[in-house]
Chain A
Amino acid sequence: MPTEVTYGLPYDQWNWRIGVYIAMIGLAGGAYLTGYVADLLAEKRDSRQYGQVATFGYLVGLGGLAIGPPILLSHLAAPFRAMMIPLTMTNLGSWMSIGAYMLMGFGLGTTLMFLWLAFGTNRPHVQTLDSSNEVAADGGEDVAADGGPAKAATSDETAGGFRGAANKVGLMNLLDSIADYTRPSRRNRLVVGALFGIFAAGVLVYSAMAYGSGSTERVALWDPTFLLPVQILTGLGAGLTIAVGLAALAERDVGRPIQNCSLGAAGLLAGGLVAVLATLFLLPEQIPEAQPAVDNLTSAYALEFVGIALVGGLLLPIVLSIAGTLGVRRDALSDSGAVGAYVAAAALVVAGKLALALSYLMAAEFTPMPLPV
């Protein structure tokens, strides 16, 4: 076992901002990818609720980008220099450079996909007056709000949801016009979405590699073999859980598509839970240097890791997602009860993802550094 070297405790090269950044971009990448799958299903099955999950998946992608990268910039000593990314991030062998370019491509992709689904008079996956009429029946109505009288797409009376917000600031007509003008055909939109999905997948992988890759892989807890499945599965699961929660809240009822997505989210979160448990039990066997950090996770950071991340952020959302779906299917739970379960699961995974990222960061950073001597 390498000699441990202590450079003065606490050893805190990175602080909570890096944890929040990693959690947010992981959520964003996962939400985009699961949203894209829902988008495909919506096209294939002509299902508006899958379309809702897709729309909110892209929205969560945008939200993650709106929160994560600015917080990272606030951590940097020279944030304005870093914002000149195309000029400054020139070492393409560095995962931070790769990640920066991935985030740029992903940002463009999730913006366009959200714009094309949520705005315009001919946006996909909205309720139509009849199947032969392609003009959206809900017109300018918030796509999130089901039922009620159809309104003109450019109505000033539109309220609620992101369309309502756009309307309030006077941007809806502009966004509708841009969306209608730029939106490709259905097939081409999905092809474009798949191409941007490569960037989303890259962001998801980067959310693991950002922890500190490099030729020495100095921090044993961040071994990519274990960390990649953790970040990918929890990112996909959390992203989908949030998209489902928001879609259910907007719909106020849970049809089969939302139920199916919820079960899918539970499966992904369960995969994430298994990956985390594998890290706890198998990583120290394979890399003994990881033992102090793993011990930290279950002792010094037990509240954040076991309490909030594992139980609150993974286990409970799995239970809520499954219980909400089975409850509705067996008539043991009202639609509003299921909506409540999905929304609670969504809120919990956000807290859990943040706690997981922070505990992985803190538990490792506050461990004496094993020096290869």
Chain B
Amino acid sequence: MSTQDSNGGPARVIPNWESCIDCGACEVACQRTWDLPPESDRIQVVAIEHGTDNETNKPMQCYNCAEAPCIDVCPTEALHYTDNGSVRVSGDKCIGCHYCGVGCPFGAPQFPDGEVPEAQESEPLGARGNGLMDKCTTCEPRQENDLEPACSSECPTDALLFGTPEELSEKLDEDNVSTPFNEESAQIIFGDDADEVMGD
């Protein structure tokens, strides 16, 4: 398991859709671990190909993109990269305009209405309420304690992989599966490391 200090880009959680059984354990783990308001969906099991015979449900969350569209469009620089390249939101700078929500192709930004004290708006892991932007933090505090993010840790089928681009590539190779992302998405998420994760 990697931490946020690993080389080769920040550690991320990405889905292995072929292993997902749509149990929702990741959603529960995230909400319970961080005591999130019910409106918050830092990770969501969403419908893929909704309304068709091929409809399935898969987990989606923030991928801490290397070329993050949310950072591009945020007018107040509430969204920014941390030193290790992860994407963070400053609750005390966010104005709740939802521009990031419209710009993100993965539906990661959330705007929970739950009321939180002003002090919590300022906390570096997201505002968690007040209609301000909130999203997955890849469980930064857990990583500092050498723990994987709660969602990947508690996924019963290893459908959520955690690691640096290099480690993710290795895990995908071991399971002989590919990421669910196309080249455009991979470039947004992994930037210069896209080829490494996507393989041939």
Contacts and interface: CB of A to CB of B under 8 A. Distances in A.
A binds B: yes
Interface of A: 2-8, 13-14, 75-79, 81-82, 88-91, 93-97, 100, 212-216, 218-219, 368-369, 371-373
A77 B96 contact: yes
A97 B79 CA distance: 14
Contacts of B101: 13
A90 B77 contact: yes
Interface string B120-138: 0000000000111000000
B18 to A, nearest CB: 13
Interface of B: 44, 46-51, 60, 67, 69, 72-77, 93-99, 101-107, 111, 130-132, 180-182, 184-185, 188
Contacts of B47: 5-6
Contact of A215 (B67, B76, B77, B93): B67
A94 B102 CA distance: 13
Given A8-B46, A77-B96, A94 B105 contact: no
A305 B180 CA distance: 36
B102 A88 contact: no
A2 B132 CA distance: 29
Given A88-B93, A212-B99, A372 B185 contact: yes
Given A77-B96, A77-B131, A78-B95, A218 B104 contact: yes
Contacts of B49: 3-4
B69 to A, nearest CB: 5
Nearest to B54: A3
B97 to A, nearest CB: 6
Nearest to B127: A77
B17 to A, nearest CB: 9
A100 B50 CA distance: 37
A300 to B, nearest CB: 15
